Amino acid sequence: MNTNYFTRKHSEEFELPISQTGGVSNSRRSGSSSRDWGRPSSDSDDGCALLVNSTAGAASYESLDIESHKAEKGGSGKQFTMGAVLVGRMRRVWQVLSERSRIGLWSLGLVLGKLAAEVVYYYAGIMPSEFYRVLGERDQGAFGPLLARCVGVVALAGMSKAGLEYASGMLGVAMRRELTRYTHSRYLQGGRLYAVVSGGRIDNPDQRIAQDVERLARSAAEVLTEVLIAPLLIGYYTVKCWMISGVFGPLAIYGYFVVGAIATRWAMAPIMRQVYRQEQAEGDFRFAQVRVREFAEAIAFYGGEATERKQADVALEQVVKAQQRVVGRQLGLGLVTQVFAYLGSTVSYVVIGIPIFMGIYDDKSGTELSSLISLSAFVSIYLVFRFSSVIEQSKRLADVGGYVTRIVQLWEELDVLDAEPQSEPDAGIAGQISAVDMTVATPTGKRLVVGLSLRVKQGQSLLITGPNGAGKTSLLRTLCGLWRPLQGTVQMRRDEVFFLPQTPYLPHGSLREQISYPGVWAGKHRKCSDAQAVQLLQLVGLEQAARRMGGSLDMQRSALEWQQRLSPGEQQRLAVARVLFWQPTFAALDESTSALDAAGEAAVYGALVAAGITLVSVSHHAGAAEFHQRRLALDGQGGCTLW
């Protein structure tokens, strides 16, 4: 939530437009500035007027637009590159992970386990060379113990491999948990969720959190162990190779690796971009599926399945095309990595061939030479294998790069929001909501209410009316701090205003939790007692519905169940019970009783007023007027009348 939308001002700084007795209509006064609008009259200190200085308004909006553009560049503008930006983003992911000790422990355990396993693999690898020797020398006495050793080593190697897979899986899970928790802690706090979702600069944030993080964690856990262990093993096998084949062996293999690395780098670049796009298409596809599920009833009534199928197929095609592009780009990389891996065994024969043809092993017998060739082949093939494994990780690294980009982009967007100056949570004067010279506009820049000044004092409930699309909800959002005014200022105390949208929000939970949602409000943790719950349910006329649902206050139900088992009117009543529970100074009701019958609406408004809650309501129902002292009528042209 962009709480910086408020400018701190004291009430004495207000220069309010005239509000004559009986109200004032909008008056355009070309040529004068908002400061020329005169002083508040003695009996009324607020009013409503159209902004006159439209040039200033336009200039102000321009600057807002540029700001948001800058934010976009800073936030998600930098995308899927292989260069410094990606390295920086990967480092950031690592920082987040390394701050969590469990990740460090798992990684360390995995590296140690992998090293131990490598020792076992080494002994398994030199077995053929020993068999060559024992069989070549027809040493029957040594054959039995060698066979037993071989079975033991192979069993150990199998166990090591299975154990490592387990540890790598657990590391992936731990990484996922930490990355997701970190993202939650930044995304689900202080209005960030709304700002990201309504800002629209980050596609499918839910998919980034639910899917991309999981894929990143899984791939990264596998890549990580390979990459961490590679220098140790490469060093060890380089020395071994040197000892067997002299300096030419390692040199030949290192040269071979450099060529392979360059070819891989070249083949890898396009994949990351495609992985990023595939993830984006996956997110859109999933969103389409969720929407169809959410509106299943409406689609069934309309018989709209055929249209939905067409749209779902279109979304599927996007995913499939993106996936095909990824698979296509992987062909080139696969070719490079496979050729590199298979050519590796040939290189190993070159490595042993050089000292043999140079006559270095001329003194060896046939059996000794066979054993040496076998040992050398193992050592150099293993060295090549280590290099090719590093190169093969690049294939996974391309995926990791795509996932990292999507996740860190979301963090960067949150950084941008964090960097915006924040208003104090208690900005404003207790017991009033006020706006001065305020222009309300949609995020797309459409001006809905221009130059409005008003003050809602405690005990003076305000009813906002106007035709559809006039901007009533937008005005309420601005007064409650969800949107920033395009011009002018809004002052209110966030801990005084409780907002109820037209569509009630009933999350997973018990009836008690529904009443006391969000559980913490205005710095207070509160839980509804049994007696309170019964009283509130009576006040909003929900006793029967509660009985119908089993009468238990603590039975957990899914969000879908709440949606299905309570009618829209009953859901709205339950939401009103929440307001009565929290007893805020102000309740902002955005058509929150639109689904109630007339008697029910009167009863809940009566209960709210009796509880001493000042209402700022949007309603199309004539009956609502008697519960409000003041009225603001929007004309749909940017103007309004207050009386």
**Which residue ranges make up the site for ligand ATP (CB under 6 A)?**
198, 442-444, 446, 448, 466, 468-474
Q: Which is nearer to ligand ATP, 42 or 444 (CB)?
A: 444
Q: How far is the CB of 590 from ligand ATP (least distance, A)?
A: 7
Cβ 28 to ligand ATP shortest distance, Å: 21
> Which candidate, 513, 519, 393, 454, places its Cα nearest to that of 18?
454
Cis peptide before 504 (omega within 30 of 0): no
Residue at token pair 């961490």: 228
**What span, in angstroms and rounded, lies between the C-alpha atoms of 418 and 190?**
10
CB of 470 to ligand ATP, least distance (A): 4
| Of 446 and 547, CB closest to ligand ATP | 446
**Closer CB to ligand ATP, residue 92 or residue 621?**
621
- Buried (b) or exposed (e) across 376-406, using 16+ Cβ within 10 A? bbbbbbbbbbbbbbbbbbbbbbbbbbbbbbb
Q: Which of these, 35, 36, 37, lies nearest to 48 by C-alpha position?
A: 37
DSSP secondary structure string for all residues of 113-125 = HHHHHHHHHHHHH
Give the helix ranges, DSSP H, for 188-294. 192-199, 205-207, 213-245, 248-294
Q: Cβ closer to ligand ATP: 122 or 483? A: 483
Q: Compare residues 614 and 617 and give the one whose CB is closer to ligand ATP.
A: 617
Sole residue written with tokens 């019970």: 577
478 exposure class (CB count in 10 Å sphere: 0-12, 13-18, 19+): buried
Shortest CB 5 distance to ligand ATP, Å: 15
In the complex with ligand ATP, the residue whose CB is nearer, 183 or 439, is: 439
481 backbone φψ class: left, alpha, beta (φ>0; ψ -120 to 50): left
Give the nearer residue to ligand ATP in terms of CB position, either 328 or 467. Answer: 467
Given a contact cutoff of 8 angstroms between Cβ atoms, the answer to whether 386 and 237 are in contact is yes
Contacts of 501 by beta carbon, 8 Å cutoff, 6+ apart: 590, 592
Smallest gap from residue 469 Cβ to ligand ATP (A): 4
DSSP, residue by residue, 463-498: EEE-STTSSHHHHHHHHTTSS--SEEEEE--GGGEE
What whole-number distance in Å separates Cα of residue 426 and Cα of residue 542? 34
Residue 430 corresponds to which amino acid? Answer: A
Q: How far apart are CA 594 and CA 242, in angstroms?
A: 83
Given the complex with ligand ATP, which of 211 and 641 has the nearer CB atom? Answer: 641
User: Which tokens go with 581?
Assistant: 């529970």
Residue (200 or 235) nearer to ligand ATP, CB: 200
**Nearest approach, Cβ of 439 to ligand ATP (angstroms)?**
13
Length of the chain, in residues? 643
Cβ at position 445, least distance to ligand ATP in Å: 9
CB of 475 to ligand ATP, least distance (A): 7
For residue 471, the minimal CB distance to ligand ATP (Å) is 4
Residue 597: partners with Cβ closer than 8 Å, 6 or more residues away: 569
Q: What distance, in Å, lies between the first and last C-alpha atoms of the chain?
A: 31
Residue whose structure tokens are 């404003």: 428
Nearer to ligand ATP, 470 or 566 (CB): 470
Other C-beta atoms closer than 10 Å to the C-beta of 23 total 16
Do residues 457 and 434 touch, judged by C-beta distance below 8 A? no
- Chain-centre distance for alpha carbon 223: 23
Say how far apart CA 207 and CA 211 lie, in whole Å. 5
| Closest to ligand ATP by CB, 340 or 499 | 499
- How far apart CA 339 and CA 69 sit, in angstroms, is 46
Q: Are strands 432-441 and 614-618 parallel, antiparallel or unpaired?
A: unpaired
Nearer to ligand ATP, 201 or 457 (CB): 201
Question: Which residue, 326 or 448, has its beta carbon nearer to ligand ATP?
Answer: 448
Give the nearer residue to ligand ATP in terms of CB position, either 95 or 468.
Answer: 468
Least distance in angstroms from the C-beta of 594 to ligand ATP: 9
Strand partners, 447: 441
Q: Helical H runs in 41-139?
A: 54-72, 84-98, 101-136
Shortest Å distance, C-beta 388 to ligand ATP: 52
Nearest approach in angstroms of CB 619 to ligand ATP is 10
Counting DSSP H helices and E strands in the chain, the numbers are 18, 12
Instruction: Kindly give, in sequence order, each residue whose CB lies less than 8 Å from that of residue 362, ignoring residues fewer than 6 positions away.
Output: none
Cβ at position 198, least distance to ligand ATP in Å:
6
Q: Which lies closer to ligand ATP via its Cβ, residue 240 or residue 477?
A: 477
CB of 474 to ligand ATP, least distance (A): 3
> Least separation, in Å, of the C-beta of 294 and ligand ATP?
19
